[in-house]
Amino acid sequence: MHEHFDHTADLGIRATAPDLANLFVEMAHGLTSAMIDRPETILEAEHIALDLADGDRDFLLFDWLRAILHLYEERRFLGRRFEVTIDRDHLKADIWGEPVDADRHPLSHEVKAVTYHGLKIEQNAEGWLAEAIVDI
């Protein structure tokens, strides 16, 4: 599950999941739904593989979200399905989606950047919680 929350001139993304890999998937869906109004209209027409590494789990989340935003900014690519595996400080992901279609993918927010401010990952009794703030 993911949700958005207001943050002064920015937008927060919060997600919960039973495990770390699914937490990263939920945060990816949260970022996508912050960018466009109807993410369910994205087709799984293309595949992209990502491989990221960072010694800090919070920074790995930052790198993950920044990579998704980079795909949008540089290739106009939107992800629909995300499969993630995490092994300590290493993330491998397969993303299926398509280039932006202005008719089917109306812009919700112009996400300019992922920020370090408020970035966190916590394990709790129910599983995992993550938060990130994006500059809009």
In this prediction, residue 3 carries a pLDDT of 77
The answer to whether residues 81 and 10 touch, using CB atoms and an 8 Å cutoff, is: no
Which of 36, 63, 62 is CA-nearest to residue 118?
62
Which of 92, 3, 19, 14 is CA-nearest to residue 50?
92
Is the confidence at residue 8, as pLDDT, over 70?
no
Give per-residue pLDDT as tens, 76-91.
999 999 999 999 889 9
CATH number for the domain whose boundaries are 2-135: 3.55.10.10
What does residue 64 show for φ and ψ, rounded to 5 degrees? -60, -50
Confidence of residue 6 (pLDDT cuts 50, 70, 90): low
Confidence of residue 44 (pLDDT cuts 50, 70, 90): very high
Is the confidence at residue 63, as pLDDT, over 80?
yes
DSSP state of 105: S
Take residue 49 and report the two structure tokens written for it: 């593989």
CB atoms within 10 A of CB 24: 27
Domain layout of the chain by residue ranges: 2-135
